[in-house]
Amino acid sequence: MLFEDISRTDMSPMTRTESDFEHLNRSARPESIAVREHLNYWLDQMPDDVQNDLSSRLKTKNRIDFSSASFEILLYALMKQIGAEITFHPKLPSSKTDRPDFEIQLKGECFYLEATTAQVCNSSNFKPDPIWEEVFQKIDEINSEEFFVSVETKGTLKTTPKISLISKKIKVWLDSLDYEKVAYEYHASKSKIQPDITIKIDDCSLTLKAFPRSIKTSGKRLIGIGDIKTDWIDEHTPLKNTILKKARKYGKLDKPFIIAVNAISAFLELDEKMNALFGDECYTFRRDLPEMEPIPGRKMNGVWTTPKGPRYTRLSGCWIFNNYSPWNIKTCKNTLFHNPWGNLPVSTSLNIFTHRKPVGSEMKLFEGFCLEDILIKTTKQL
């Protein structure tokens, strides 16, 4: 069993430095209990070797390992809930030694299902710096009934600084502030004036601004506004590359092949998914007819498109999940995109899920059940 049946009383939120497993294993929060039950229930139904592999990945500090393992468990649960027979890592008819994650037999149909995780938000500005996160964790532990703070960093720390000295400076600064004065200046000023402090750390700096709490309270995190960075985001290219890596992995196949992708991003929209699968959006202008409206179209550089024609026709469909985690089963959006040029069609039994398939010249949307609807039996069986 992944999580032992022991008494848990800790209601504190997840810290910045602990892993998903460490938080789940200590937390008595209702949402943590639900996640533990979900993972335990479905893991216990799997073969021992699969359980051992997934459990070891769930227990690592690496959040991508946790995400990919929990995503495979989700796919297994969804398939079981709709009545499928599942074979893990089936042998392929080709000479390739690589094997997909699942072979699914359902209602007289059979297909291969492969799970993968795409770090779609590929800017380094959005990846937490582990040393700064350690500093932030200690700042969060500073108790202030009157204020919360925003943090802004400049530079990359090479080694862990003396965090106790940083915390001491912040405490002294917060204690020197007059709550009534700060609250008045903040609410009376259109520019929202906040007192600030900048702490030099080697070649880096840490700037904090203090905000008055609307209700004085203790025991809450001190950092209310994180270290906000901005950058240009290219989401469809890493999504496309992740799918392509899997699409070319197994060679010629004898059954429909579906790649399920957990896209780790808070921003991924339909446009980026369509760009990844069918090519970048573009507009064509006529030099000889400048008054003519530009013609919308696509570059033929998607997973399924090239200037010479369709490719990876062995890939029947791509099932894209928006930032799935075991905590957001109720809200996670997902869509199965049918390949218009697929050699073998997507199993009709998967039409229970939200999907897009070609109807005329468009990829028409067909709404299906949400993840919670499919997994509702899980709650009754636990």
Instruction: Report phi then psi at 86, rounded to 5.
Output: -120, 130
- Same domain for 217 and 81: no
Q: What is the pLDDT of residue 283?
A: 86
CA–CA–CA angle 135, 139, 144 (5° rounding): 180
Does residue 4 sit within a domain?
no
- Same domain for 326 and 217: no
Does residue 92 sit within a domain?
yes
List the pLDDT tens digit at each of the 382 positions of the chain: 899 999 999 999 899 889 999 999 999 999 999 999 999 999 999 999 999 999 999 999 898 999 999 999 999 999 999 999 999 999 998 767 889 999 999 999 999 999 999 987 654 545 678 899 999 999 999 999 999 999 999 999 999 999 999 999 999 999 999 999 999 988 887 777 789 999 999 999 999 999 999 887 776 899 999 987 777 778 899 999 999 999 999 988 999 999 999 999 878 899 999 999 999 998 888 888 888 888 888 999 999 999 999 999 999 999 999 999 999 999 999 999 999 999 999 999 999 999 999 999 899 999 999 999 999 754 344 3
Query: Regarding beta strands 85-88 and 102-106, do their DSSP bridges make them parallel or antiparallel, or are they unpaired?
Result: antiparallel
Q: What is the pLDDT of residue 123?
A: 47
Both tokens assigned to 106: 């359902």
Instruction: Report phi then psi at 103, rounded to 5.
Output: -115, 125
Pairwise CA distance, residues 145 & 220, whole Å: 8
Choosing from 225, 247, 280, the residue where a domain stops is 225
Cα separation values, 303 from 41, 116, 228, 299, 338, Å? 36, 15, 33, 11, 12
Tell me the whole-structure pTM to 2 decimals: 0.87
Choosing from 160, 195, 225, the residue where a domain stops is 225
- Same domain for 203 and 104: no
- Same domain for 118 and 249: yes
Does residue 7 sit within a domain?
no
Instruction: Report phi then psi at 164, rounded to 5.
Output: -60, -35
- Same domain for 164 and 89: no
- Same domain for 172 and 278: no
CB 128 within 8 A of CB 229: no
**By residue range, what is the domain housing residue 153?**
127-225
Q: What is the pLDDT of residue 380?
A: 42
- Same domain for 254 and 149: no
Does residue 367 sit within a domain?
yes
Does residue 22 sit within a domain?
no
